[in-house]
Structure 1
Amino acid sequence: MSRPTVLSRRTLLRGVGALMALPLLDAMRPRAARAAAPAPRRFAVFYTPCGIHMPKWTPKAVGADWALTPTLESLAPVKDDLLVLSGVDNLPGRPDGDGHHAAATAAFLSCAKARKTEGTNIRTGISMDQVLARAVGSATRFASLELGIDPGKGVGNCDSGYACPYANNIAWAGPSTPVPKETRPRAAFDRLFADFDPNATQAELEKRRAYGLSIIDAVREDAKALHGRLGTTDRRKLDEYFTGVRELELRVHAMEGAGPACGAVAPPEDTGDVRERTKAMLDLIVLAFQCDLTRTCTFMLGNARSQRVYSFLGLSGEHHAYSHHQKAQANYDALAKIDRWEVQQYAYLLQRMKAVQEEGGTLLDHSAVYFSSEIADGNMHEHKNLPILLAGRAGGALAPGRHLRYEGAPLANLYISLLRIFGVSANTFGDDGTGPLPGLDG
Structure 2
Amino acid sequence: MKNFKLSRRTLLRGMGALMALPVLEQMKPSVAWAAEPGAVPRRLAVFYVPCGIYMPNWTPKGTGRSWTLSPTLQPLAPVKDDLLVLSGLSHEPGRPDRFGHHAAGTGAFLSCVKVNYTDEMSEVRAGISMDQIAAKALRTQTRLPSLELGNDGGDGTGSCDANFSCAYARNISWAGPTSPRAKETNPQAVFDRLFASFDPDATRAQIERRKAYEQSILDFVNEDARALKQQLGTRDQRKLDEYFTSVRELELRVAALDQQAPTCSKGPRPERTQDVREKTKVMCDLMVLAFQCDLTRVATFMLGNGRSDRVYDFLGLTSGHHTYSHHQHHSENHAALAKIDRWELEQFSYLLQRMKSVQEGEATLLDNSLVYFGSEVADGNSHGHSDMPVVLAGRGGGAVTPGRHVRYGGRPIANLFISMLGAVGVDVDRFGDDGTGPLSQLKE
Count of residue pairs brought into register by the alignment: 426
1:12 aligns with 2:14: no
Q: Which residue of 2 aligns with 1:43?
A: 44
Return the letter of the residue paired with 2:108: A
Return the letter of the residue paired with 2:282: A
Give, in angstroms, the shift of residue 194 of structure 1.
1.8
The 1:205/1:248 distance shift into structure 2, 3 A limit, reads: closer
Return the letter of the residue paired with 1:369: V
Give, in angstroms, the shift of residue 209 of structure 1.
4.2
Return the letter of the residue paired with 2:354: R
Q: Which residue of 2 aligns with 1:174?
A: 176
Task: Tell me how far apart the structure 1 counterparts of residues 77 and 30 of structure 2 sit (CA, whole Å).
Answer: 39
Deviations 1:363-416 (A, max 9, x none): 111111110101000011101100000011111111011110011101111111
Task: Tell me how far apart the structure 1 counterparts of residues 422 and 13 of structure 2 sit (CA, whole Å).
Answer: 38
Task: Tell me how far apart the structure 2 counterparts of residues 34 and 58 of structure 1 sit (CA, whole Å).
Answer: 37
- Which shows bigger deviation, 115-124 or 189-198? 189-198
The 1:206/1:62 distance shift into structure 2, 3 A limit, reads: closer
Which of 281, 293, 308 aligns to 2:283? It is 281
Task: Tell me how far apart the structure 1 counterparts of residues 2 and 422 of structure 2 sit (CA, whole Å).
Answer: 39
Task: Tell me how far apart the structure 1 counterparts of residues 47 and 210 of structure 2 sit (CA, whole Å).
Answer: 35
User: Does the residue aligned with 2:421 lie in a helix, a strand or coil?
Assistant: helix
* Mapping for residues 306-385 of structure 1, pairs under 5 Å: 306-385=308-387
Give, in angstroms, the shift of residue 229 of structure 1.
2.0
Do the aligned residues in 2 keep the contact of 1:59 with 1:66 (CA within 8 Å)? yes
Give, in angstroms, the shift of residue 64 of structure 1.
0.6
Do the aligned residues in 2 keep the contact of 1:155 with 1:164 (CA within 8 Å)? yes
Deviations 1:22-52 (A, max 9, x none): 1122233356635533421111000000000
Return the letter of the residue paired with 1:210: A
* Mapping for residues 50-65 of structure 1, pairs under 5 Å: 50-65=51-66
- Which shows bigger deviation, 133-142 or 240-249? 133-142
Give, in angstroms, the shift of residue 19 of structure 1.
1.8
Give, in angstroms, the shift of residue 418 of structure 1.
1.1
Gaps of 5+ in 2: 201-205, 261-270
Task: Tell me how far apart the structure 1 counterparts of residues 214 and 167 of structure 2 sit (CA, whole Å).
Answer: 36
Give, in angstroms, the shift of residue 18 of structure 1.
1.7
Give, in angstroms, the shift of residue 212 of structure 1.
2.1
Give, in angstroms, the shift of residue 307 of structure 1.
1.3
Do the aligned residues in 2 keep the contact of 1:146 with 1:179 (CA within 8 Å)? yes
Report the TM-score, using the length of structure 1 for normalisation.
0.93
Give, in angstroms, the shift of residue 231 of structure 1.
2.0
Task: Tell me how far apart the structure 2 counterparts of residues 19 and 114 of structure 1 sit (CA, whole Å).
Answer: 39
Q: Which residue of 1 aligns with 2:113?
A: 112
1:245 aligns with 2:250: no
The 1:156/1:405 distance shift into structure 2, 3 A limit, reads: same
Give, in angstroms, the shift of residue 195 of structure 1.
1.9
Give, in angstroms, the shift of residue 270 of structure 1.
6.1
* Mapping for residues 116-127 of structure 1, pairs under 5 Å: 116-120=117-121, 121-127=123-129
Q: Which residue of 2 aligns with 1:71?
A: 72
Give, in angstroms, the shift of residue 138 of structure 1.
1.4
The 1:88/1:35 distance shift into structure 2, 3 A limit, reads: closer
Q: CA RMSD in A?
A: 2.0
Return the letter of the residue paired with 1:91: E
Which of 301, 313, 317 aligns to 2:303? It is 301
Gaps of 5+ in 1: 199-203, 259-268
Q: Which residue of 1 aligns with 2:408?
A: 406
Q: Which residue of 2 aligns with 1:263?
A: none
Q: Which residue of 1 aligns with 2:24?
A: 25
Return the letter of the residue paired with 2:281: K
User: Does the residue aligned with 1:109 lie in a helix, a strand or coil?
Assistant: coil
Q: Which residue of 2 aligns with 1:421?
A: 423
Give, in angstroms, the shift of residue 158 of structure 1.
0.8
- Which shows bigger deviation, 113-122 or 130-139? 130-139
The 1:101/1:398 distance shift into structure 2, 3 A limit, reads: same
* Mapping for residues 205-220 of structure 1, pairs under 5 Å: 208-220=210-222
Which of 134, 137, 151 aligns to 1:135? It is 137
Do the aligned residues in 2 keep the contact of 1:39 with 1:360 (CA within 8 Å)? no
Deviations 1:150-182 (A, max 9, x none): 002221111111101100000000111100111
The 1:197/1:102 distance shift into structure 2, 3 A limit, reads: closer
Q: Which residue of 2 aligns with 1:266?
A: none
Return the letter of the residue paired with 1:317: S
- Which shows bigger deviation, 8-17 or 24-33? 24-33
The 1:206/1:88 distance shift into structure 2, 3 A limit, reads: closer
Do the aligned residues in 1 keep the contact of 2:48 with 2:374 (CA within 8 Å)? yes
Identity of aligned residues (%): 63
* Mapping for residues 225-264 of structure 1, pairs under 5 Å: 225-257=227-259
Q: Which residue of 1 aligns with 2:152?
A: 150
Do the aligned residues in 2 keep the contact of 1:86 with 1:387 (CA within 8 Å)? yes
